[in-house]
Amino acid sequence: MASRPLRATALVSVLLIFTSLLAACGSSSSGSGGGVVNLTFWSFNQQITDQADAFNKTHPNIHVTALKEPSGFGQYYPKVLSAIKAGNAPDVALIEYQYVPTFVSRGALVDISQYIPQSVRQQFDPAAIGLETFGNSLYGLPQDTGPEGLFYNAKVFAQAGITAPPTSWTEYAADAVKIHALGPNYYITSFSPTNTGWFQALMWQAGAIWFTTSGNSWVVNINSAQAQQVAGFWDNLIKQGLVDTATADGDFQSGWNNALDKGTIASWISAVWGQGVVKGDAADQKGNWAVAPMPQWTAGNNDSAFWGGSGISVIAGTKHAKEAAEFVQWYLTDSTSLNIGVQQIGWYPSNLAARQQALTTPDPYFAGSTPGGQIVDKTFASVNIPSGWAFPPDLDAVTNFEGNDFNTAITNNLTLVSQLPNIQNQVITDLQSQGITAKAGN
């Protein structure tokens, strides 16, 4: 009977398709040949492929593939972490400072202290190197830092009768009244309860250090007197309706982008990297914006804090830690790479030599207070960052607790101050449940 062979071939072919399919899939993951070490590099900066190309040209034995990853949905870091668990992580990745302890506590970063000599480390901002160093271990080199200042729309400020940017928080609150007087849609700033990193930087600037270490224990101090003072300051503005708490107008959201462009949100407390955001989002306000130091709690100080800022780390599971570290060092010390970073990506570099170069060019976009344009980075060059702040090893949990509780507060007309004890307790409980030693600082 002819039917049997036919049936057999048909089914064998189906099986063959499936096995060859699986085989074809498997082969794509491996890929080193001819003595060239292949590295993968993830970042959410643009133009990183140009930097990788420059590296590949001068390093015949190493080939770096740079992938620009999306940063929305909070999906970048989870992707790195789950890729590590899955065994297909990049060899090198951009990690913002606030995530470094969280990544270290997952065993996700490689200690590169043996590859990076002291002489190289000394080329960088010590405060930034400090955020990458734990004991004797070094978990990355700092790319750029995020000291904060006050970006403001000088034209709108002038319309409101404000001649100089506020130097103290008291003046800031008074200016908030004047700007809101321009119209019901006008606000000095948006205030998003879920913008947790931003709020933590405000705490840090006031010396309300939420997280420190003492010996082998974390000290959590979210409900300190200074913290209550900062939260109370914003409670007062929120209660009077002087800041925009609409959920669509939080930082980076489309309503906010548009409000910056129209000038109805008149200022933004932001890090130095924020200049790129302002220029991109408020293109129609060219020439109107300016930048000033942050408002102060103590007259005469120039206190600020870091919001964001990134380092480049070698990711656990790499088979080529040495070559990866070589790329990291090149990436942050080579002049071609730094030029692309500073000129095109807009880094405020942690590399001190490169920072000097960044401090020379005035930007005509920021001509609100200085005709011809301000040298924006200069405002950030001499700030004082209060010492002692360490980022917690469970940042995402802290973000959830803070975001949830502050959101509840705004929705139900409660104060931020009233939420602080609960946030602190949840953070301590969470750390302890992971087997980490933590105690309250007050």
The closest alpha carbon to 176, from 303, 269, 249, belongs to: 269
Q: Would you count residue 404 as binding other proteins (CB under 8 A)?
A: yes
Angle between helices 225-239 and 196-205 in degrees, nearest 10 = 120
Q: Least distance from C-beta 195 to other proteins, angstroms?
A: 8
**Minimum CB distance to other proteins, residue 283 (Å):** 7
Closest to 313 (Cα-Cα) out of 35, 79, 116? 116
Does residue 78 interact with other proteins by CB under 8 A? yes
Q: How far is the CB of 224 from other proteins (least distance, A)?
A: 20
Q: Segment near other proteins (CB under 8 A), from 165-173, 334-342, 361-369, 394-402?
A: 394-402
Ranges within 84-123 binding other proteins (CB under 8 A): 85-88, 101, 104-107
Contacts of 400 (CB under 8 A, 6+ apart): none
Residues 306-335 that bind other proteins (CB under 8 A): none
Tokens at residue 413, please?
Answer: 């007309």
Q: Which of 68, 155, 178, 320 binds other proteins (CB under 8 A)?
A: 68
Three-state DSSP state, 381: helix
Alpha-helical segments (H) within 95-195: 100-105, 118-121, 126-132, 154-159, 169-180
From CA 108, how far away is CA 130, in angstroms rounded? 19
Joined tokens for residue 58: 């001068």
Q: Please report whether residue 213 would count as binding other proteins according to CB under 8 A.
A: yes
Site string for other proteins, 29-48 (x = CB under 8 A): xx-----------x-xxx--
Provide the H-helix boundaries in 28-75: 48-58
Closer to other proteins at the Cβ: 4 or 60?
4
Q: Residue 83 corresponds to which tokens in the numbers above?
A: 């890729």
What tokens appear for 173 in the block? 């609150």
Q: With binding defined as CB under 8 A, does residue 261 bind other proteins? A: yes
Neighbours of 73 (CB within 10 A): 8
Told to check if 3 binds other proteins by CB under 8 A, we report yes
Q: Does 23 bind other proteins (CB under 8 A)?
A: no
Count of residues that bind other proteins according to CB under 8 A:
92
146 binds other proteins (CB under 8 A): no
Percent helix, strand and coil across the chain, each rounded to 5? Answer: 45, 20, 35
Binding other proteins by CB under 8 A: which of 133, 168, 257, 370?
257
- Cβ atoms of 341 and 348 closer than 8 Å: no
Shortest distance in whole angstroms from residue 428 CB to other proteins? 13
Based on the shown chain and the rule CB under 8 A, indicate whether residue 26 belongs to the binding site for other proteins. Answer: yes
Query: How many CB atoms sit inside 10 A of residue 53's CB?
Result: 13
- 2 binding other proteins? (CB under 8 A): yes
Q: Which stretch binds other proteins (CB under 8 A): 168-176, 251-259, 368-376, 377-385?
A: 251-259
Q: Is 67 in the site for other proteins (CB under 8 A)?
A: yes
Q: Does 82 bind other proteins (CB under 8 A)?
A: yes
Rule CB under 8 A: is residue 63 a binding residue for other proteins? no
136 binds other proteins, rule: CB under 8 A: no
Residue 435 binds to other proteins (criterion: CB under 8 A): yes
Q: Which of residues 348-377 bind other proteins (CB under 8 A)?
A: none
Q: Which is nearer to other proteins, 287 or 301 (CB)?
A: 287
Helices (H), 2-148: 3-27, 48-58, 76-86, 100-105, 118-121, 126-132
Closest CB to other proteins among residues 96, 323: 96
Please, which residue, 70 or 372, has the CB nearer to other proteins? 70
Nearest to 209 by CA among 404, 424, 425, 414: 424
User: How many alpha carbons fall within 13 Å on the CB side of residue 100?
Assistant: 28
Which window, 150-158, 175-183, 375-383, 401-409, contacts other proteins (CB under 8 A)?
Answer: 401-409
Regarding 10 and contact with other proteins (CB under 8 A), the answer is yes
Q: What is the largest CA-CA distance in the chain?
A: 100
